[in-house]
């Protein structure tokens, strides 16, 4: 039986066929969180295009699943020449799963994935008033610099170790078994969530996302 995090989510890398689940996750984000994640108000069409490009480009996307739905996403976008490979980390968690250590867990796992790919430098940008994201980055020893309304976290991770390689392999194996072999009802304790709804969503209807003011400008991150 795969171990769940204390949040109750099961983490694994996304498969290319699951692109729609990431899109649905981004579309479910609270408007404020969508703003924090994409550095501005972005339209549903922008998210559709973004998911198409991100997953098609072969970036590593780590997802936190509850009852078969993606409730948390961590992206590791790698670039640069061999030997000087860099990566950028971005994270988004749906409201009912925030402040339960999920962001910290995703950040930790993404650093491990970066180490296992011999990434020399990790960057993670967020808006300057995103105190939670900066707190998470600092917990992992990132240096955080603030410039022009953005906070940029930077880390030079160690080389991969036996333990980081084993952790990735074992976690993947467990999560795949969990996904393929166990019926949804046995994956989480308690009442199964209604499709497309997060636990707690029944208590209060989430506000409708605002009409996007604009697509991100040049200096906003995609």
Residues 116-175 that bind ligand COA (CB under 6 A): 126, 130-133, 135-136, 139
Choice between 131 and 169, CB closer to ligand COA: 131
Distance of alpha carbon 171 from alpha carbon 76, whole angstroms: 17
**Is residue 94 within 8 Å of 25, Cβ to Cβ?**
yes
With binding defined as CB under 6 A, does residue 99 bind ligand COA?
Answer: yes
Q: Does 5 bind ligand COA (CB under 6 A)?
A: no
- Non-local (6+) Cβ contacts of 19 within 8 A are 51, 52, 55, 56
Which residues from 68-97 bind ligand COA, rule CB under 6 A?
Answer: 90-93
Chain-centroid distance, C-alpha 58:
15
Indicate the residue among 132 and 197 with the shorter CB distance to ligand COA. 132
In angstroms, rounded to a whole number, what is the distance separating the alpha carbons of residues 115 and 159? 6
Q: Does 104 bind ligand COA (CB under 6 A)?
A: yes
The answer to the question of residue 98 lying near ligand COA (CB under 6 A) is yes
Q: Which of 157, 32, 149 is nearest to 85 (CA)?
A: 157
CB of 96 to ligand COA, least distance (A): 11
For ligand COA, the closer CB: 38 or 116: 38
Nearest Cα to Cα of residue 119 among 80, 91, 153, 152: 80
Of the candidate residues 86, 100, 108, 120, the single one contacting ligand COA (CB under 6 A): 100
Binding site for ligand COA (CB under 6 A): 33, 36-37, 90-93, 98-104, 126, 130-133, 135-136, 139
């Amino acid at each position: 039986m795969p171990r769940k995090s204390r949040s109750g989510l099961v983490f694994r890398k996304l498969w290319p066929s699951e692109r729609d689940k990431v899109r649905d996750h981004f579309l479910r984000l609270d408007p404020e969180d969508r703003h924090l994640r994409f550095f501005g108000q972005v339209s549903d069409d922008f998210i559709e295009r973004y998911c198409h490009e991100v997953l098609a480009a072969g970036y590593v996307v780590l997802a936190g699943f509850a009852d078969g739905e993606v409730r948390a996403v961590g992206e590791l976008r790698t670039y640069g020449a061999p030997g000087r490979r860099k990566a950028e980390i971005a994270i988004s968690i749906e409201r009912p799963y925030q402040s339960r250590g999920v962001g910290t867990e995703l950040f930790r796992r993404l650093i491990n994935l970066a180490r296992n790919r011999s990434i020399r430098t990790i960057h993670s940008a967020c808006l300057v008033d995103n105190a939670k994201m900066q707190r998470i980055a600092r917990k992992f020893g990132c240096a955080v610099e603030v410039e022009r309304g953005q906070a940029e976290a930077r880390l030079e991770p160690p080389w991969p170790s036996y333990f980081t390689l084993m952790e990735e392999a074992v976690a993947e194996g467990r999560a795949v078994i969990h996904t393929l072999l166990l019926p949804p009802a046995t994956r989480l304790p308690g009442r199964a969530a209604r499709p497309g709804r997060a636990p707690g969503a029944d208590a209060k209807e989430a506000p409708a996302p605002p009409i996007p003011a604009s697509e991100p400008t040049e200096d906003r991150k995609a």
